[in-house]
Structure 1
């Protein structure tokens, strides 16, 4: 009488791993990252102008991003994110960064409602700080895909 529940019947060890708990954990992490990702956007709220252009490759180093908001206040992407800085501070910080890393790209995020004079003054300050090329950040137009 050697039925399946008898003591002399030996079970083979199961070599499969139950992955359902791992899938559950991964789905929870995915939801958490989807919720927190929009909060990780750093920088000043700037309404960028919308133009059609080719993206610039900045693969080699993280760029310095200098922002001008609609009130004409300047912000720099390194250090204090929330406090406006003066043009002199922007120039000094860019000089200090470029002394350590001379090939660091410099990008300007200008609000579309910012004064043209504020942006030109900023670019002049960056040029005096030793920046040869300044990139301008914009957004693609809404609704037009080409």
Structure 2
């Protein structure tokens, strides 16, 4: 009676289903995209690769943002003889105005060795918000 019915054998499928792996990778991509801006906080500073060298003689004179030992902020743009203390927002506005006129003028920070690290960082953050692409740090030579 069952002679007419033949059982067909199924072939085994040797393919890997990659859909779950793609789903996991998309979720990880979204997580990394959401957390990357939180990890990269801070002030960008161009660190020297070797020993520090002075600015070349043919470069434009730099804007020098200074913090003295009392924590007062100053800006030396090479043209003003009067040195009066500035608030951070005033200093940032002056730097932004100068960079509108001379966008490739270098900006350096000159900080007293006794000033707190927080005040230097606040100065660098205000310079960054004023549009300064990179900030240099002034040092004294050991010679």
* Cα shift at 1:80: 5.6
Could you say what the CA RMSD is over the residues aligned between the two structures, in angstroms? 1.6
TM-score by structure 2 length? 0.59
Query: How far, CA to CA, are the matches of 1:122 and 1:74 in structure 2?
Result: 8
Q: How does 1:100-111 map to 2 (within 5 A)?
A: 100-111=101-112
Listed one character per residue, the Cα deviations across residues 78-135 of structure 1 (whole Å, up to 9, x for unaligned) are: 3364210000111000000000111010011100001100000000000011101111
1:86 and 2:87 aligned: yes
* Cα shift at 1:58: 6.1
Structure 1 segments, 4+ long, off by >4 Å, are none
Structure 2 unmatched runs, 5+: 1-50
Partner of 1:132: 133
Structure 1 unmatched runs, 5+: 1-51
Query: How far, CA to CA, are the matches of 1:58 and 1:127 in structure 2?
Result: 25
Partner of 1:64: 63
* Cα shift at 1:64: 0.5
Query: How far, CA to CA, are the matches of 2:76 and 2:122 in structure 1?
Result: 18
Which structure has the bigger radius of gyration?
2
* Cα shift at 1:140: 1.4
Q: Is the contact made by 1:92 and 1:129 (CA closer than 8 Å) also made in structure 2? A: yes
